[in-house]
Structures are given as C-alpha cells and as structure tokens.
Chain A
C-alpha cells in the first residue's frame, strides 16, 4: 500500500521529435487518446440514435434523439433570442457533448481530457475567435477597435485586459473544476485506502494482513462523493461553458 499521495498525471505514451520551434515535440498524451475515445463515443451514439428514422410512430430512441436536437435548438435560440445564431447550434452542441462526455469519462477510470488545460484552452480560444469575429462583423473593424475606448480612452488597457480575461477565465474555470474533481477523487481513494488499511490491520493474523491490503472502504463511498465531484460538477461546467459561449456571442452581435 502506497502511503504517499500522488495526483493522476496525464500519461505520455510516445514522443515524436519534430524539431519545429515553439511547437516542440509532438507528444501522444492520454488527453489525446481519451479525446478520440470521447469523439468515437459521441459519434457512435449519434449514429445509433439516428438509425432507422421514421416520420410517424417513432421509437423511444428516435424520440430521445429528437429531444436532444430540440434541446440544443432551444438552448441556443432562447439564449440568443431568435434564429439568428442557428449556425451555432451544432458547434455549441458538440462543445457540450464533448465536455460532458470528457468530464464523465473519468467515471470509467480513464483520465478526463478536460483535466488538461490544453483542451479547455483550445475550446476557449475558438470561442474567443468567434466572439471577436462576431463583434467585427457587427460593428466593423473600426467599431471593434473603438469599442475598447469606451466609456473613456483611459479605460483602454482595462478593456483589453477584460477582453483577454474572457477566454482565460472560461478555460481556467472549466479546467480548475475538473482538475479539482480529479484531485479530490484521488484524495478520497487514497484516504479511504489508508483508512481501510488501518481498520482491517487491527484484525490479528494473516486475515488482517490480507484485508488491510484491499481498500475495502473504497467500494461505494466514492460513488456518493462522485455524485457531486464528477456528475454535478462535470455537467455543470459543460453547461456553464456552453452558456457563456452563447451569451458572449449573442452579446457580441448587439450593436
């Protein structure tokens, strides 16, 4: 039994030396592998749900698929107030699905790709580019730049800072929550392992030695704490990220 605590770091399986400056060597990490698994799961689910579609007398599977699509449509339409951002629906849905499945995949023992800042940074940068593009499209490039000097020119540095804070805060919020979930789950398993070793170590003889090596308390209790740290926080963060995405883009489209 390991008595020191270690956080679950992302594994690097292979390193391909590219020699490209700045980007550095390509590292095939656990994050990427699990991301691809997540994508496969989502795509497989989509294909499974949309199999054998009918107009009348639909199956429960199709009803569920339609519900998902309607939920995505309503989510974007309600938060932007109209059909103006319908092109955004698949993007937001993909973001949400990827985020949720990535967050919850830790439940089956894989390391969440969202417990890697690179993932959230990638998403946040994409969202930031979309926000900026929408702003430029709405007000023109001059208007966009002019927007930084409001309400007075002195505020420009703060405005730039707050603009940049958007993707940083989005990425870090999501990442921090998931990573904390990973760390706390690790801590709980570790503590329960120690506790069960201590309790069952009280049993004298070979039975006590044998039982103290099995983290018996680790069965069941993490499932209860996992309701918050994995399920709730995983779904909540995905929802918040998508909500912010939609809100920021909708706000950017306002004159």
Chain B
C-alpha cells in the first residue's frame, strides 16, 4: 500500500469515527441522555402504573374490609334472628301451655258445674220425692180420716159434727203417726 492510497483512505475515513474510542462529547451527552431517559421512564411508565397499582390495592383493601363488615353485620343479624326465633319458640310453648292450662281449668270448671248441677238436680228430685211423699202421707191421712169418719159415722149411725170429729181424728192420727 503506497502513501497516496493511505492518504486517500484517511481522507475517506474522516467522516467516520474510530471503532474503539472514547469521545468526550458523546460521553457527556450519553450521561445526560441516560438521566433524561430515567426521568421520562419514571414520568411516563412508573408513575402512572404505580398510581394505578396503588389505587387497585386500595380498592381491594376496601372491598375486603366492606365484605368483612357485611359479614359481621350478617353474623349479628343471624344471632339476632336466632335469639328472636328461640324467644318465639318459647313464647309459642308458653301460649300452648297457657291454653292447655286454661282449657283444663275450663274443663274442670265445666265438670264441676255439671256435677254440682247434677247434685242439685238430684237433691231437688229427692226433695220433691220427699214432698210428694209428705203430700201422699198427708193425703193418706186425710183419706184415712175421712174414711174413719165415714166408718165411725156408719158405726155410730149418728151424724156428728164433722169439724169436731176431724179435730178428734187428727189428734188421734198424729198420736199414731208420731
């Protein structure tokens, strides 16, 4: 390779840089470029995405919290329902037993009243019978009296004052009956 060709080559190579070289300006500008890139990537990628991620995690937290609250509420409601259900059961049992008691009392009362009534009827009947008996006895007495008078009249053939004799006979009968 002669001198001329070498010079031609260097002239051609003037608008390219060496393969392995450190160019101060390029070096400085690349440092600045790197920091600009950091700023840009931070502003346009990390900031919005991190904001969204944070928002989402907040939302998730909120949802979980709300779900937990709702569950607590449901649990307390359930407890409340269960207790009120128990109360209702007790109340129902109370009502039933009350009703049973009342019915028993009423039935007892009815039976007692019926018994009393029956006893009353029986007593009245007995009294009636007694009265009838007395009446019958009295009638029999009267009959016997008049019969006796008739017989006595026929026997003595003499009309006696009925009233005087009746008294006489009554005395007699009462002495006899007693």
Q: What would be 22 A-B contacts, judged by CB atoms less than 8 Å apart?
A: A9-B13, A9-B17, A9-B18, A9-B19, A24-B25, A29-B26, A31-B26, A39-B40, A42-B37, A43-B37, A46-B44, A49-B45, A53-B48, A55-B59, A65-B45, A66-B52, A94-B40, A97-B41, A116-B23, A121-B30, A122-B31, A126-B31
Task: Kindly report which residue of chain A lies nearest to residue B15, judged by CB atoms.
Answer: A12
Cβ-based interface call for B10 (8 A): no
Which residues in chain A, 35-60, are within 8 Å of chain B measured between CB atoms? 35-36, 39, 42-43, 46-47, 49-50, 53-56
- CB of B26, distance to nearest CB on chain A (Å): 4
Cβ-based interface call for A134 (8 A): no
9 smallest beta-carbon distances between A and B, as pairs: A122-B30, A9-B16, A46-B44, A118-B26, A90-B42, A46-B45, A94-B38, A69-B49, A94-B37
Task: Kindly report which residue of chain A lies nearest to residue B20, judged by CB atoms.
Answer: A117
Interface string of A103-145 (1 = CB under 8 A from B): 0000000000100111101110110000000000000000000
Using A46-B41, A126-B31 as known contacts, say yes or no to A23 and B24 having CB atoms under 8 A apart. yes
CA distance A113 to B27 in the complex (A): 11
Task: Kindly report which residue of chain B lies nearest to residue A10, judged by CB atoms.
Answer: B17
Task: Find out whether the CB atom of B49 lies under 8 angstroms from the CB atom of A42.
Answer: no
Task: Find out whether the CB atom of B40 lies under 8 angstroms from the CB atom of A46.
Answer: yes
Task: Find out whether the CB atom of B23 lies under 8 angstroms from the CB atom of A118.
Answer: yes
Please count how many residues in chain B sit with their CB below 8 Å of the partner chain's CB atoms. 37
Cβ-based interface call for B56 (8 A): yes
Task: Find out whether the CB atom of B34 lies under 8 angstroms from the CB atom of A50.
Answer: no
Using A42-B40, A43-B40 as known contacts, say yes or no to A22 and B24 having CB atoms under 8 A apart. yes
Please count how many residues in chain A sit with their CB below 8 Å of the partner chain's CB atoms. 54
Task: Find out whether the CB atom of A94 lies under 8 angstroms from the CB atom of B34.
Answer: yes
Which A positions have Cβ atoms within 8 angstroms of B? 7, 9-13, 22-27, 29, 31-32, 35-36, 39, 42-43, 46-47, 49-50, 53-56, 62, 65-66, 68-69, 72, 89-91, 93-95, 97-98, 113, 116-119, 121-123, 125-126, 175, 179
- CB of B15, distance to nearest CB on chain A (Å): 5
For A119, the chain B residues whose CB sits under 8 A away are 26, 30
Which secondary structure characterizes the binding site on chain A? helix
- CB of A150, distance to nearest CB on chain B (Å): 31
Using A11-B15, A55-B59 as known contacts, say yes or no to A116 and B33 having CB atoms under 8 A apart. no
CA distance A50 to B53 in the complex (A): 12
Which residues in chain B, 139-161, are within 8 Å of chain A measured between CB atoms? none
Which residues in chain B, 42-99, are within 8 Å of chain A measured between CB atoms? 42, 44-46, 48-50, 52-53, 55-56, 59
- CB of A98, distance to nearest CB on chain B (Å): 5
Task: Kindly report which residue of chain A lies nearest to residue B25, judged by CB atoms.
Answer: A26
Task: Find out whether the CB atom of A125 lies under 8 angstroms from the CB atom of B31.
Answer: yes
CA distance A42 to B43 in the complex (A): 12
For B174, the chain A residues whose CB sits under 8 A away are none
Task: Kindly report which residue of chain A lies nearest to residue B14, judged by CB atoms.
Answer: A12
Task: Find out whether the CB atom of B41 lies under 8 angstroms from the CB atom of A93.
Answer: yes
Task: Find out whether the CB atom of A50 lies under 8 angstroms from the CB atom of B49.
Answer: yes
CA distance A122 to B26 in the complex (A): 9
Cβ-based interface call for B36 (8 A): yes
Task: Find out whether the CB atom of A98 lies under 8 angstroms from the CB atom of B37.
Answer: yes
CA distance A42 to B40 in the complex (A): 9
For A94, the chain B residues whose CB sits under 8 A away are 34, 37-38, 40-42
